[in-house]
């Protein structure tokens, strides 16, 4: 079974190819380029390096949010285009799930936080229980202070990861039970999207590209600003 996974929901663009349980290739870029400039060339480079015929891929795994509105749409358009062109089924992998899946088999609570600006983050809480990866809360867009409060309520060590850590680290460092993984575990990875997609495929959570829906949690900034302007004029 071959799974091509992509993630363009945050600062990092990442693509990976998983074949029969092995990550054969992974390509990630976290630099000064837009995902529209990087994701297709990255996939093309993977195909060249491992002599992959895209038509032999069984599934396209797409990180489906929450995250950057532009990034989400670029990833979805890429996944849909590849799926349509090759008649390939799609697996929608929630971004926060895949990010938390970077951390394996720990007794700690895992809390991915993605910067949503205005002192808010996209987040959820997770834990490994009897070798099962469990989400403990709904996906949310919350003020960082509320996330810290919820984390402290677990009265357990909490591992924070994601691009929200760098933004809010000054507040997070004040808590003795909070800890942070090394750089290779901290941001979105196509390999984690692919690995988690295997679990979803086993549950039958496979769709057509046209059925792919994204998790937004908040309205786009332009729409929020327009609503605020209209309220001011009322």
Cα within 13 Å of Cα(224), Cβ side:
8
Q: Which residues pair with 110 in a beta bridge?
A: 126, 159
- Model-level pTM? 0.93
pLDDT tens-digit series, residues 26-40: 999 999 888 999 999
| Contact (Cβ atoms closer than 8 angstroms) between residue 42 and residue 30 | no
Residue among 168, 165, 179 nearest 106 (CA): 179
Q: Pick the range with the lowest mean pLDDT from 114-128, 162-176, 207-221.
A: 207-221
Indicate the helix (H) or strand (E) that contains 164. Answer: helix 164-172
């Amino acid at each position: 079974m071959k799974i091509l996974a992509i993630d363009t929901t945050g600062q990092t663009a990442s693509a990976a190819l998983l074949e029969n349980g092995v990550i054969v290739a992974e390509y990630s870029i976290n630099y000064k380029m837009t995902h529209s400039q990087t994701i297709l060339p990255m996939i093309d480079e993977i195909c060249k390096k491992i002599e992959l015929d895209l038509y032999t891929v069984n599934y396209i795994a797409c990180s489906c949010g929450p995250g950057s509105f532009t990034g989400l749409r670029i990833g979805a358009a890429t996944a849909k285009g590849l799926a349509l062109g090759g008649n390939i089924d799609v697996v929608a992998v929630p971004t926060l799930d895949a990010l938390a899946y970077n951390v394996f088999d720990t007794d700690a609570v895992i809390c991915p936080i993605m910067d949503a600006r205005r002192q808010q983050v996209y987040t959820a809480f997770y834990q490994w229980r009897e070798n099962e990866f469990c989400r403990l809360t709904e996906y949310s867009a919350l003020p960082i202070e509320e996330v810290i409060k919820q984390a402290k309520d677990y009265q357990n060590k909490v591992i924070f990861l994601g691009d929200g850590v760098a933004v809010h680290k000054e507040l997070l460092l004040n808590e003795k039970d909070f800890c942070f993984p090394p750089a290779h575990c901290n941001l979105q990875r196509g390999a984690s999207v692919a690995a988690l997609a295997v679990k979803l495929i086993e549950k039958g959570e496979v769709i057509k590209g046209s059925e792919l829906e994204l998790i937004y949690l908040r309205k786009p900034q332009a729409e929020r600003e327009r609503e605020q302007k209209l309220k001011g004029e009322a």
